[in-house]
Amino acid sequence: INDELSFALIYASVIAVETSVVSSVKTGYNRILGTAVGGFIGLIMTYIPLYGGLTLALGVVVTILVGNLLDIKKATGIAITLVVIIIIGSKGEAPAVYALQRTVDTLIGILIATVVNLLIYPPDQMKRVRESFYAFRNTAKKVLGDEIEYQIEDGLMLLTKDLENLKTDFDSLDNEISLLRKYDHQEFEYYKEMVEVCERILIYAEALSLSEQGVRMTQDNHGRLIKILQRDIIHADFVTPRESSRDDLIYNYNLAKLIGAMEKVLRKKVFQNRID
């Protein structure tokens, strides 16, 4: 390894740092593959008697083709970088020695990033799930109130986006839970259930958006809505189940299901002296 800190080491450290432990390990593995491929191709290119620019271009093309052939597209970036570093920097040094130096530097950079994620500062994936859940919950209260009272449906796209973020963060947590024992398993199971409940909230909200104009709400649903949304819902024309039309029945069924799901999401939960 060179006495000076090489660009390859710094570059590899930065790109191998990920937002979760599992993704960091996978990224590190892909980078190691890319390093091996890039180091080998870079070494071969230094022995080809071509003009420097042509050697560089050929090296990049060959690296991309090999990356696609081996199905390591995620590792192609670092492989290309290493090929360029070796071809440009090997002048004045033995190509084999320089290629080995740059390859080892890159591997050390990957190792540093992986150790940082695993031991020094592992990402708190449970915290990410909590924040995504709170974001969905707050958005749901605002969007559903506007949809039911004013028939404003624009917020459904935002609610869909918040749900996708929650599911993505939970999937990352799900991948980590078997590796890291620091997470509260009870809290994990709670959010697993909440993801399913949030999916139902979006489904029922979309169903309500398809309701016919002029459908009437029951007083029971109206009272429950005011309680969970903590806002006045102006609705003067109430209907009883006996008086309900087919559209009224469908609307109130979906609304009751939506309210039930929202009640679950808004219910306080205690985990290890912390309240959610």
Where does the pLDDT of residue 156 fall: very low under 50, low under 70, confident under 90, or very high at 90 and above?
very high
Ranges of each domain in the chain? 7-120, 125-275
- CA-CA distances (angstroms) from residue 228 to 144, 157, 159, 262, 268? 11, 22, 17, 7, 12
**DSSP state string for the chain:** --SSPPHHHHHHHHHH--SSHHHHHHHHHHHHHHHHHHHHHHHHHHTS-S-HHHHHHHHHHHHHHHHHHTT-GGGHHHHHHHHHHHHHHTTTS-HHHHHHHHHHHHHHHHHHHHHIIIIIS---HHHHHHHHHHHHHHHHHHHHHHHHHH---THHHHHHHHHHHHHHHHHHHHHHTTT-TTS-HHHHHHHHHHHHHHHHHHHHHHHHHTSPTT--B-HHHHHHHHHHHTS------B--TTT--HHHHHHHHHHHHHHHHHHHHHS--EETTEE-
| Rounded Cα gap, residues 145 and 128, in angstroms | 26
Of 22-31, 45-54, 219-228, highest mean pLDDT: 219-228
User: Between 123 and 132, where is the model more confident?
Assistant: 132
- Which pLDDT belongs to residue 125? 86
- Which pLDDT belongs to residue 90? 59
Of 26-30, 94-98, 231-235, highest mean pLDDT: 231-235
User: Considering only CA atoms, which of 262, 276, 267, 264 is closest in space to residue 140?
Assistant: 262
| Rounded Cα gap, residues 28 and 220, in angstroms | 56
Q: What is the pLDDT of residues 24-40, one digit of tens each?
A: 667 777 777 888 898 88
Q: Which two tokens stand for residue 95?
A: 């190509």
Q: Among residues of the chain, what percentage have pLDDT more than 90?
A: 39
- Which pLDDT belongs to residue 6? 56
User: Between 168 and 270, where is the model more confident?
Assistant: 168
- Which pLDDT belongs to residue 5? 44
User: Between 106 and 152, where is the model more confident?
Assistant: 152
Where does the pLDDT of residue 48 fall: very low under 50, low under 70, confident under 90, or very high at 90 and above?
confident
Q: Are 112 and 24 in contact (CB under 8 A)?
A: no
Q: pTM value?
A: 0.68
**Residue 240 pLDDT greater than 90, yes or no:** yes
Q: How far apart are the first and last CA of the chain?
A: 50
User: Considering only CA atoms, which of 205, 239, 201 is closest in space to residue 222?
Assistant: 239
